[in-house]
Amino acid sequence: MERYLYFSNPNSGAPDQTQETAMYATSSLLGAAPASATSTSLHFAPRDGGTSPADIVTLTHTSGGHKVVFDGIASLVNAEKSNKPFQVVADVENSIFNISGVTACSIASTD
């Protein structure tokens, strides 16, 4: 069963724009890398079906927390919780962050 990772960061109120919310199949995760001391970038195959550039979700976290983010993403990708295919990573609107130390996210997409 394919699993999906959900990210949401609305400007105000409920998400209403393309780059305020996103859901990616775990199979589209290309990799992750530190973007700064307090952020990690997750690279996904573009949702529009193109080949480049990759969509990027940036997670803001405590300083030096990259390994915790990598471990958290791996756990969510491989989650067996009640066989739920939908995994919330970061939902700013509802203050839900399922990786320790993550406090915000941003989404950069080609679509």
Contact in structure between 9 and 22 (CB atoms under 8 Å): no
| Residue 14 confidence class, pLDDT cut points 50, 70, 90 | low
**pTM of the shown model:** 0.87
d(CA 88, CA 96): 8
Domain spans of the chain, in order of start = 4-108
d(CA 13, CA 79): 29
Region at 62 (left for phi over 0; alpha for psi -120 to 50; beta for the rest): beta
Contact in structure between 111 and 48 (CB atoms under 8 Å): yes
Specify burial of residue 66 (Cβ count, 10 A radius: 0-12, 13-18, 19+): buried
For the stretch 69-111, pLDDT in tens is 999 999 888 876 556 788 999 998 889 999 999 999 998 886 6
Q: Which two tokens stand for residue 73?
A: 């993403």
Residue 62: the pLDDT is 95
